[in-house]
Each structure stands twice: as C-alpha cells, then as structure tokens.
C-alpha cells in the first residue's frame, strides 16, 4: 500500500480519489466538539437545532469535516510530507449531518522545486469533500513540502527506520 508520494510522483492535473469514505456518527461529532471545546448548541443540542435552526437537526461541526477530509488525503498526498506549509483556503459549502457519509478527492494544482534545498519540492493541491449523494460540502487548498526520491534514499528508503524482524536461529 502506498503512503504518500515523492515529489517526482505528483503530476499536475492528477486526481486522487480517497478511499474509503467515513460515515459521520453523532458520537464522532459530539466527541470532536467536546475535545475542541466547541459547545455551540447547533452541534450538541438536538432540541435547539430542531426548534431554532433552518436545518431542523444538528449540523456536524465544520472543523471535523475538514479534519476527516484532510486525514483521508494523507495516504495519497501527504503521507511522506516533510511539512504542511499552508492552508490557503477553506470553504464549507453545504452542511453535513449525522449519518452522512463523506468522500474526498484531491487534485494536484501545481508543483515546484524548493529554492533552498534540492532534495524536496512543494505541491499545491485542492481537496473536495462530498456526501453520499454527491453534494459538495467542503473545499480546501493547501501546500505541502514533499521529499524527492534522493531525500528518501538518504534516509532509508520508502519506510525509513522500519526495523527488520529479529530472526531466531531456530526459525532459519
């Protein structure tokens, strides 16, 4: 299984469809809200959301939606990243509700070599998140510093610091 890409593996215009999707549960949303101290009743209070909002139900907190989509993209985009440099833009374009399943895909917008170190480059990507019915819910752009193959080779290859299993003499 691939985990991220080196600079040379990115092609401008490439689209990575992230798999699998994630069905958002009430528990997921409430735990995220509590962990991040976001106590807005739109996310936590079903009665409030049902009686006092246009949606008539709890809305999944946007930062959780973004975090899920970012996480989904790691195996395809930033699994080998040296640094996440910038979130250039982030738009929530439709609500996500408990029980919705999120999917994501990332398009490579551009790439360029680092001007300060010749063993890495910058990749500019846009990730789009959508629900099971195809409704786009979130779009964000970011820049990621990724290694070139030479960087990986100098540090132990594709899986740096992964140890070999110890073999006992009896198993040989």
What CATH code is carried by the domain that includes residue 48?
Answer: 3.10.129.10
> How does residue 158 score in pLDDT terms, banded at 50, 70 and 90?
confident
- Residue 157 token pair: 């290859």
β-strand partners of 15? 107
Structure confidence by residue, pLDDT tens digits, 126-135: 999 999 999 9
139 occurs within a structural domain:
yes
140 occurs within a structural domain:
yes
Q: At 20, phi and psi to the nearest 5?
A: -90, 175
Cβ-proximal residues to 169 (8 Å cutoff; 6+ apart), any chain? none
Return the SS3 of 90.
Answer: strand
Of 125, 129, 71, 126, residue with least CA distance to 95 = 129
2 occurs within a structural domain:
no
pLDDT of residue 172: 56
Instruction: Give me the half-sphere count of Cα atoms (radius 13 Å) on the Cβ side of residue 33.
Output: 19
39 occurs within a structural domain:
yes
When computed from its CA atoms, the radius of gyration of the chain, rounded to whole angstroms, is 20
37 occurs within a structural domain:
yes
Domains held by the chain: number: 1
Q: Tell me what percent of the residues of the chain surpass a pLDDT of 90.
A: 83
Vertex 11: Cα angle to 104 and 71 (nearest 5)? 30
164 occurs within a structural domain:
no
Placement of tokens 């509700």 in the chain: 97
Residues spanned by the domain of 113:
7-154
H/E stretch holding 22 reads: strand 15-23
172 occurs within a structural domain:
no
162 occurs within a structural domain:
no
Structure confidence by residue, pLDDT tens digits, 8-63: 999 999 999 999 999 999 999 999 999 999 999 999 999 999 999 999 999 999 99
Cβ-proximal residues to 44 (8 Å cutoff; 6+ apart), any chain? 30, 33, 58
Q: Is the pLDDT of residue 3 over 90?
A: no
């Amino acid at each position: 299984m691939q985990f991220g890409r080196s600079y040379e593996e990115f092609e401008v215009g490439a689209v990575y469809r992230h798999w699998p999707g994630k069905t958002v549960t009430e528990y997921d949303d409430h735990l995220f809200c509590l962990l991040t101290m976001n106590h807005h009743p739109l996310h936590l209070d079903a009665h409030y959301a049902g009686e006092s909002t246009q949606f008539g139900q709890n809305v999944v907190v946007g930062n959780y939606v973004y975090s899920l989509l970012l996480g989904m993209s790691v195996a395809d985009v930033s699994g080998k990243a040296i640094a996440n440099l910038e979130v250039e833009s982030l738009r929530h374009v439709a609500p996500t509700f408990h029980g919705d399943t999120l999917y994501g895909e990332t398009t490579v917008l551009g790439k360029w070599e680092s001007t300060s170190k010749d063993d890495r480059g910058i990749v500019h990507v846009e990730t789009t998140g959508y629900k099971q019915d195809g409704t786009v819910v979130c779009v964000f752009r970011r820049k990621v510093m990724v290694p070139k193959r030479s960087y990986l080779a100098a540090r132990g290859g594709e899986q740096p610091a992964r140890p070999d299993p110890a073999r006992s003499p009896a198993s040989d």
